[in-house]
Homo-oligomer: A and B are copies of this chain.
Amino acid sequence: MQITKEQLQQHNEPQLKKHQAQWTALRQQLEERGVDVASTLQQLRQFQVAIPSWALGTGGTRFGRFPIGGAPLNLEEKMMDIGMLHALNRSSGAISLHIPWDIPDNAAHIRALATELDLRFDAVNSNTFQDQPDQQRSYRFGSLCHTDKEVRRQAVEHNLEVVRYGAELGTNVLSVWLSDGSNFPGQYHMQGALQRTLESLQSIYAGMPDDFLLFLEYKPFEPAFYATVIPDWGTSFLLVNKLGDRARTLVDLGHHLPNTNIEQIVSTLLAEDRLAGFHFNDSKFADDDLTTGSIKPYQLFLIFYELVDGMRRKQRPMQDLGWMIDASHNIKDPLEDLLQSVDAILLAYAQALIVDTPGLQQAQEENDPVLAQEALQDAFRTDLRPLLAEARLQDGAALSPIHCYRELQVRKNLIAARGEKTIATGL
């Protein structure tokens, strides 16, 4: 299902007057505060969040799954869904594929479809946390860390195959998340497992084209419940330093122990030029994979302030980093969930952009935590929703993507077209 310009205009038309009034008031308020409104709008419009191909169907937990129907059944349908999201918000113009769930059998055709939908291909993701039906050796006891070098070789080759698929589609980033780990003390030799993982990663790194980047995730637990080989940013950082300049540490918001200060990790990785980018989601307990911004919106803002400030200091554009949603849509309609997530990300980014940085720096120099807090909260408390709406309007998107999606009865149409019982590949 595609959304036309006419449909978007029909949606926007009745809201335009109210939006203009709100936007005019906000613009004035921002200008009075010294914000460069035009530049801020420009930065927001440039910011694109990649949608993973596995996020378009109903997700689940180990206890089960409750599908709602209309899920995409192949790569083309997944791209169509993302294209529709992008039409609605003009901020989702990228797709991140997962191999072997989304093997592009005909790369030329897939590239052409992407062009048509105005999508680019973001990082490609490998999968060595599951066994595939035709797979020779099992990842039951790990992949890149496995004691058996044949298993490691198979996993390395899989990653290089993923790189080849990615290269055909025009991306130059391999994203690696390893579930390798142990469930019990003593199950494996921890130093040995780390060393074997390093060597496997070195083989992958060596086999990638010269312009390819390797993004390396970390995660403290799940599915391994005693020791994960790469449990924290420190271990990922240690490994990417050994790999080379084109290896970076990827931060997934849900991959941290309770109470971790994630914004500080971001700050340190940026200072060390090792931040790859983000997998966005939100969580209250563990890797809950909830809608970004639904639980801890202030933390999301603080993270974005570190990103904006850190990249500014390096004089690097935000596009240098990778931005992707990685959530599990168990209860909400996955497409609505993605729209809410992208909106929350952009809102946090916008809040970070309007922070009075000179005022904040002065408070920091003078060790004045009271005014420092006021400076950050002033940005966070400002209602920037009209700014985001204006950015969408200028881009020809929907003033209110969620409501437009509902007005057009998208889910109903998808179910009619694809069926009630469809289940997309993914978790």
Contact B129 A63 (CB under 8 A): yes
Point out the residues of chain B lying under 8 angstroms from A330, CB to CB. 183, 223
Q: Is A278 an interface residue (CB 8 A)?
A: no
Point out the residues of chain B lying under 8 angstroms from A93, CB to CB. none
Give, as a whole number of angstroms, the nearest-CB distance from A141 to chain B.
4
Q: When chains A and B are docked, how far (Å) is the Cα of A365 from the Cα of B233? A: 28
In the complex, residue of chain B having the shortest beta-carbon distance to the beta carbon of A347? B381
A367-406 interface (Cβ within 8 A of B): 367, 369-370, 372-377, 380-383, 385, 402
Contact B340 A270 (CB under 8 A): no
Stretch of A100-108, A184-192, A202-210 on the interface side? A184-192
Point out the residues of chain B lying under 8 angstroms from A365, CB to CB. 147
Contact with B along A39-53 (1 / 0, CB 8 A): 000000000000000
Q: When chains A and B are docked, how far (Å) is the Cα of A138 from the Cα of B271? A: 28
In the complex, residue of chain B having the shortest beta-carbon distance to the beta carbon of A283? B225
Count of A residues near B, CB < 8 Å? Answer: 105
Q: Is A154 an interface residue (CB 8 A)?
A: no
Point out the residues of chain B lying under 8 angstroms from A232, CB to CB. 232-234
Point out the residues of chain B lying under 8 angstroms from A296, CB to CB. 296, 298
Known: A225-B285, A306-B190. A185 touches B376 (CB 8 A): yes
Contact with B along A284-302 (1 / 0, CB 8 A): 1110111101111110001
Q: When chains A and B are docked, how far (Å) is the Cα of A297 from the Cα of B377? A: 10
Which single member of B63, B130, B186 contacts A364 (CB below 8 Å)? B186
Q: Is A122 an interface residue (CB 8 A)?
A: no
Q: Which residues of A are interface residues toward B (Cβ below 8 A)?
A: 22, 25, 29, 60-64, 66, 129-131, 138-141, 147, 179, 182-192, 194-195, 220-223, 225-227, 231-235, 237-238, 257-261, 263-264, 267-268, 270-272, 283-286, 288-291, 293-298, 302, 306, 310, 313, 328, 330-333, 336-337, 340, 347, 360-361, 363-365, 367, 369-370, 372-377, 380-383, 385, 402, 427
Besides A62-B223, A66-B131, A220-B259, 10 more A-B contacts (Cβ < 8 Å) are A62-B62, A183-B332, A184-B291, A185-B294, A186-B360, A186-B372, A190-B264, A190-B267, A225-B284, A336-B370
Interchain Cβ contacts under 8 Å between A and B, 18 examples:
A60-B62, A61-B62, A62-B427, A66-B139, A183-B330, A184-B290, A184-B369, A185-B302, A191-B270, A194-B268, A226-B295, A232-B232, A232-B233, A232-B234, A235-B268, A257-B259, A259-B284, A293-B377
